[in-house]
Structures are given as structure tokens and as C-alpha cells.
């Protein structure tokens, strides 16, 4: 068994899970803060939340692209 390849896959899995969960959690938090923010800052906070959701979705779609061989 190639242990170095196993470690690389484990680290890549951990980092990608942190990116997906972290960006989604930050997006949810920013949406909650946007409701209490000053009216002049609400569009900035809300667009930042949607950007976090976009990063999360892009990471998920890239993972699906890597898994499904038809897309290659």
C-alpha cells in the first residue's frame, strides 16, 4: 500500500471538508448578521454571505467533477 498517497488523499479530504463547511457556516452567520447590521452595510454583508455560498457550491461541484468520470 502506498502510504504517502493515502496521507495526501486524507489531507485533501480534510481541507476540502473544512472549506465547504466553513464557507457555508460563514455564509449563514453573515446572513444572520445582515439582519442586524446598519442599513448602509446590509447589501455588503448580504453579498458577502452569497459569495460564501458560491464558494461552497463551487467546491461541491468541483468535487463531483473529480468523482464522475463522464465529465472528464
What is the count of structural domains for the chain?
Answer: 1
Q: How far is CA 43 from CA 4, 18, 34, 51, in A?
A: 46, 26, 8, 12
What is the domain range of residue 48? 3-71
Task: Give pLDDT tens digits for 39-52.
Answer: 999 999 999 999 99
Is the alpha carbon torsion for 27, 28, 32, 33 positive or negative? negative
Give the pLDDT of residue 33: 95
Task: Give pLDDT tens digits for 16-38.
Answer: 999 999 999 999 999 999 989 99
Amino acid at each position: 500500500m502506498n502510504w504517502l498517497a493515502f496521507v495526501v488523499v486524507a489531507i485533501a479530504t480534510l481541507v476540502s471538508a473544512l472549506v465547504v463547511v466553513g464557507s457555508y457556516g460563514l455564509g449563514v452567520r453573515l446572513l444572520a448578521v445582515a439582519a442586524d447590521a446598519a442599513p448602509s452595510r446590509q447589501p455588503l454583508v448580504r453579498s458577502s454571505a452569497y459569495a460564501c455560498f458560491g464558494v461552497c457550491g463551487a467546491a461541491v461541484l468541483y468535487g463531483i467533477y473529480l468523482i464522475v468520470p463522464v465529465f472528464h
